Structure 1
Amino acid sequence: HTPGYDLSVTLDAIRYVRNCLPGSEIIKDWVTFHVYFSNQHMPVNVPYDEAGVLDQPSSCTLANGSQVPPPYTQIARNESYKVRANLTYPINVGRNIARQAANTHFIFACDIELYPSLGFVDQFLDMVAHNHSVLALDPKQPRRVYPLAVFEIEAGVQVPADKSELLALFRRQQAQVFHLHLCRTCHTIPSQREWLNLTSGAEDQMHVFSQTLRKNQFKAWEPFYVSDNTEPFFDERVTWEGQSNKRIQVGTNFYIIPNIYLLYLFVYDLTLLSLLY
């Protein structure tokens, strides 16, 4: 979302991460950036096309040989056009733009700061290869999606390589359900106790262990899930500031998988946070 002069800063940042970071080649190969803004908050100068952005030279070093500081660290948040114009973040517009540009059968609308468990993509596609019903190609079938359990881990803790290591952190209270003290019901999955009791390694074959609907005590559940790209689009009237920005269709079946998850790399002491809330 790049209203007004935020566009220029954003394009500088895109060129920087594509050219000046150790992982820039990976970013070029695998990351697509979608830039959008309201016609009521147009930037002064808008490049004609992608080449007009990416073909501009990008300097990564200063005259003294040191690294150019990332552009996204050089402007305070309260100095952005969005903040000064008191705009909300139209998160669902961005989600829908990305969905329309996706060229895969499956999609995974997920916040960028959440990291899937190692091997997640290969494991999921392997499950599809062994069970074609996952594709749900028959439009008469109930809609089905595949949510991931979400956890946050304490700052400074080694990122778990698989679920067994995650559960070890959980038992030591160095990991907990995402937003546990902010919104306990938002990310507590159905059959969570059973999920936590099922151990598995990264090499284990993926399978479904629970099927559920989003209702009763789970009506406030806000899962991140894999689905096919025939899902209804997100409601663009809803903003990030309104929080409940993910929509779930009535009647959707949720197939929970025991050996994959999402991680938020926490920045606080979990014990201290539990005392604050």
Structure 2
Amino acid sequence: MQWIHATEKPGLGVFKVGRREYEFGAWEPFFVGTSQEPSFDERFTWEGNKDKRIQGYIMCLLKYEYHILDNAFLIHRPGIKSRHSKSKKPIRRQNKQLHDFIRPQIHKLYGKRHACVV
């Protein structure tokens, strides 16, 4: 809640630096990157709630820092997700694929860190 008490400054600046680990392990930040960052894994969908998690998990394993900007905002479209029933079968299939196949591959490439969670 530090941002509530922050004093406003003109222009863009780094407000805080954070990592996607420990209590922030499920954090799915929007970020501006380059072609050097790990690729987004298109095998997962937002319905399974893991669409950005694989990329974030790899970035955690690589100890990426996120520089949080002040005086910046993002509009996410199409907007707020509505609550509707989802089929649990594709979600279970994605989770099984992640834990049985993809995570072991990731660990071979990038190692493991206790601070990082999918």
Range into which the TM-score falls when normalised by the shorter chain:
0.5 to 0.7
- Structure 1: how far apart are the matches of 2:19 and 2:67? 9
Instruction: Report the equivalent of 2:50.
Output: 244
Instruction: Report the equivalent of 1:184.
Output: none
Secondary structure at the counterpart of residue 70 of structure 2: coil
Query: What stretches of structure 2 of length at least 5 have no aligned partner?
Result: 83-118
Structure 1 position 196 matched with structure 2 position 4: yes
CA contact (8 A) 1:199 1:259 kept: no
Deviation of 1:220 after TM superposition, in Å, equals: 0.8
Secondary structure at the counterpart of residue 226 of structure 1: coil
The one of 10, 25, 32 equivalent to 1:226 is 32
Instruction: Report the equivalent of 1:256.
Output: 68
Deviation of 1:215 after TM superposition, in Å, equals: 0.9
Distance 1:262 1:199, change over 3 A: farther
Matches within 5 A, 1:179-218: 193-200=1-8, 204-218=10-24
Q: Deviations over 1:157-203 (max 9, x none)?
A: xxxxxxxxxxxxxxxxxxxxxxxxxxxxxxxxxxxx112222437xx
Deviation of 1:214 after TM superposition, in Å, equals: 0.8
Which amino acid counterpart does residue 51 of structure 2 have in structure 1? Answer: N
- Structure 2: how far apart are the matches of 1:244 and 1:258? 27
Secondary structure at the counterpart of residue 261 of structure 1: coil
Secondary structure at the counterpart of residue 39 of structure 2: coil
- Structure 1: how far apart are the matches of 2:51 and 2:7? 32
- Structure 1: how far apart are the matches of 2:8 and 2:75? 16
Q: TM-score, normalised by structure 1?
A: 0.24
For the pair shown, the structure with the greater C-alpha radius of gyration is 1
Equivalent pairs counted in the alignment come to: 74
Secondary structure at the counterpart of residue 32 of structure 2: strand
- Structure 1: how far apart are the matches of 2:31 and 2:4? 18
**Higher relative contact order (Cα pairs below 8 Å, separated by 6+ residues):** 2
Matches within 5 A, 1:127-146: none
Q: CA RMSD in A?
A: 2.5
Secondary structure at the counterpart of residue 257 of structure 1: strand
- Structure 1: how far apart are the matches of 2:20 and 2:29? 10
- Structure 2: how far apart are the matches of 1:240 and 1:257? 25
Which amino acid counterpart does residue 6 of structure 2 have in structure 1? Answer: L
Query: What stretches of structure 1 of length at least 5 have no aligned partner?
Result: 1-192, 269-277
- Structure 1: how far apart are the matches of 2:21 and 2:51? 17
Q: TM-score, normalised by structure 2?
A: 0.52
CA contact (8 A) 1:206 1:257 kept: yes
Which has more helix, going by share of residues?
Answer: 2
